[in-house]
C-alpha cells in the first residue's frame, strides 16, 4: 500500500471504508434505510448501491428491529453485515436484537458461533433536529457485555476503526457524530494506534480532560484558550473506543496532573463520564487533589431552538468557564 496520506472529510472516510470492505470481501453486506439510490440520510452510502448492487447494499424497510435482526442472522451464517441506523435515537427500536441476541449468542453457545456485525449510527446534537433526533445514547450500551463501542473523533479513526470492526468477530457499535461529518483530516494507511488504545492529543501538567467524539474538538479548543489566556496547562485524552476502554492511559495522566475532568455530550446522570469518574476515583484516589469533575449535558431532552440547544450541549466556552472554577 502507498505511504501517501489523503485529506478527506469524516463522511468521505466512512463511505470509503464501507466501499473498500465491500470490494475486498464478498461476505460483507450493507443494510439500512435509504442507503440505495438516495445514498443514505447523510450521504455515507453515496454511490455504493450503483457500484455493488442491491444484493450487497440492501435497502431496508422502516423497521430497525427487523433489519437488525436479519443482519444478526446473516452474521450467524458467516456474512459480515454493516448496519446503518439512520439516527442513533432510532436504535432504541433495535435494542432487543442488539442487547438480547447479537451480543449474547457467542457466550450462550460457548464460542461455537460468532456475530461479526457492525452497527453504525450518527449520534449527538448540534444540528437543530430536536429531541428525538439528537441524543447521545452510547452510555446505555457501555454496560452491555460483549459489545465493542467505537467513538471516533477524526476521519482517520472513522475509516480505519470501521474497517477493523467489519473484520472483527465481535459485534461493534460505531457512533459517528453528525457534527463531525464535514470535518477534514489525513487518512493515512491504517490505524496509528491499536484498537483499545486512547490517544493523548495534548500534553499538560495541571488538569487531565478525558473525552471522545465531538467533545474532543471542544476540549482541544478550550485547552488552547486556557493555556494562552489563563496559563492553565491542560492534557487532553481522546478515548477513541469505549469498549475496549483504555483506563491505563487515563490513570497515567491523572497521576501526573492530579486533577481529572470527563467531558461528554450525553446527559450527566448514568453517562459515560460517571463510569470513567468512578474508575479514576477507585484507582487514583490517593493522587487526586480534588474530586473528579464531569461536564455533560443536563438531564433534559435536546431542544430544537438554536439558543436552547447551544445552552444545553457542552461547548468550548463552557469547558473554559468550568475549568477556571475547578482550579
* pLDDT at residue 4, rounded to an integer: 59
CB 324 within 8 A of CB 312: no
User: Which is nearest to 67 in space by CA: 108, 44, 98?
Assistant: 98
Report how far apart the first and last C-alpha atoms of the chain are (Å, whole number).
48
Same domain for 174 and 261: no
Co-location of 125 and 207 in the same domain: no
Q: Is residue 194, in this structure, part of any structural domain at all?
A: no
Check if the beta carbon of residue 133 is closer than 8 Å to that of residue 87: yes
The total number of structural domains in the chain stands at 2
Same domain, 115 and 246: no
Q: Is residue 193 part of a domain?
A: no
Cα-trace Rg, the chain: 20
- Give me the CATH number covering residue 310: 3.40.50.920
**Are 211 and 155 in the same domain?**
no
Residues 168 and 82 in one domain: yes
- The percentage of the chain sitting over the pLDDT mark of 90, rounded to a whole number, equals 97
**Is residue 12 assigned to a domain?**
yes
For residue 1, being part of any structural domain is answered with no
Contact 135, 89 (CB under 8 A): yes
Q: For residues 312 and 213, state if they share a domain.
A: yes
The strand order across the sheet containing 80-84 reads 57-59, 28-32, 80-84, 118-123, 172-177, 148-150, 241-243
pLDDT in tens, 2-42: 445 789 999 999 999 999 999 999 999 999 999 999 999 99
For residue 98, what are the domain limits?
7-186
Collapsing DSSP states into helix, strand and coil, what is residue 266? Answer: strand
Which sequence positions are flagged as catalytic? Answer: 64, 133
* The predicted structure's pLDDT at residue 6: 82
Which one of 161, 186, 211 terminates a domain?
Answer: 186
Query: 10 Å Cβ neighbour count for 306?
Result: 10
Let me know whether 150 and 208 are in one domain: no
Same domain, 296 and 147: no
Residue 314 lies in a domain: yes
Three-state secondary-structure class, residue 242? strand
DSSP string for residues in 43-60? STTTTHHHHH-TTTEEEP
Same domain, 54 and 159: yes
Write out residues in the chain with pLDDT < 50, as ranges. 1-3
Residue 245 dihedral angles phi and psi, to the nearest 5°? -110, 120
Q: Mapped to the 3 state alphabet, what secondary structure does 189-224 carry? A: CCCCCCCCCCEEEECCCCEEEEECCHHHHHHHHHHH
192 within a domain of the structure (yes/no):
no
Last residue within a domain, chosen from 153, 186, 219: 186
158 and 219 in a single domain? The answer is no
Residues 163 and 220 in one domain: no
The CATH number linked to 100 is: 3.40.50.970
Nearest of 220, 265, 219, 300 to residue 124 by alpha carbon: 265
Assess whether 129 and 248 both reside in one domain: no
Amino acid at each position: 500500500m502507498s505511504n501517501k496520506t489523503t485529506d478527506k472529510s469524516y463522511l468521505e472516510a466512512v463511505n470509503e471504508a464501507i466501499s473498500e470492505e465491500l470490494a475486498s470481501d464478498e461476505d460483507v453486506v450493507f443494510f439500512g434505510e435509504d442507503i440505495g439510490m438516495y445514498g443514505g440520510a447523510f450521504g455515507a452510502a453515496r454511490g455504493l448501491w450503483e457500484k455493488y448492487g442491491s444484493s450487497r447494499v440492501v435497502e431496508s424497510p422502516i423497521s430497525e428491529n427487523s433489519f437488525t435482526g436479519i443482519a444478526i442472522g446473516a452474521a450467524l451464517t458467516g456474512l459480515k453485515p454493516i448496519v446503518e441506523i439512520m439516527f442513533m435515537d432510532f436504535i432504541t427500536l433495535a435494542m432487543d436484537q442488539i442487547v438480547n441476541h447479537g451480543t449474547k449468542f457467542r457466550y450462550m453457545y460457548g464460542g461455537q458461533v460468532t456475530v461479526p456485525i457492525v452497527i453504525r449510527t450518527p449520534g449527538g446534537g448540534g444540528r437543530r433536529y430536536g429531541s428525538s433526533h439528537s441524543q447521545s445514547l452510547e452510555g446505555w450500551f457501555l454496560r452491555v457485555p460483549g459489545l465493542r463501542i467505537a467513538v471516533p473523533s477524526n476521519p482517520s479513526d472513522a475509516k480505519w476503526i470501521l474497517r477493523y470492526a467489519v473484520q472483527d468477530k465481535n459485534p461493534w457499535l460505531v457512533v459517528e457524530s453528525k457534527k463531525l461529518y464535514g470535518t477534514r483530516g489525513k487518512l493515512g494507511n491504517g490505524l496509528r494506534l491499536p484498537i483499545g488504545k486512547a490517544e493523548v492529543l495534548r500534553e499538560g501538567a495541571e488538569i487531565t480532560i478525558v473525552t471522545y467524539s465531538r467533545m474532543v474538538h471542544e476540549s482541544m479548543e478550550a485547552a488552547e484558550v486556557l493555556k494562552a489566556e489563563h496559563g492553565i496547562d491542560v492534557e487532553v485524552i481522546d478515548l477513541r473506543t469505549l469498549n475496549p476502554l483504555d483506563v491505563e492511559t487515563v490513570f497515567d495522566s491523572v497521576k501526573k496532573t492530579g486533577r481529572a475532568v470527563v467531558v461528554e455530550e450525553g446527559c450527566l446522570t448514568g453517562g459515560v463520564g460517571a463510569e470513567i469518574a468512578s474508575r479514576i476515583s477507585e484507582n487514583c484516589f490517593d493522587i487526586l487533589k480534588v474530586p473528579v469533575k464531569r461536564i455533560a449535558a443536563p438531564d433534559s431532552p435536546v431542544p430544537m431552538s438554536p439558543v436552547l440547544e447551544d445552552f444545553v450541549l457542552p461547548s468550548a466556552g463552557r469547558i473554559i468557564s468550568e475549568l477556571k472554577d475547578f482550579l
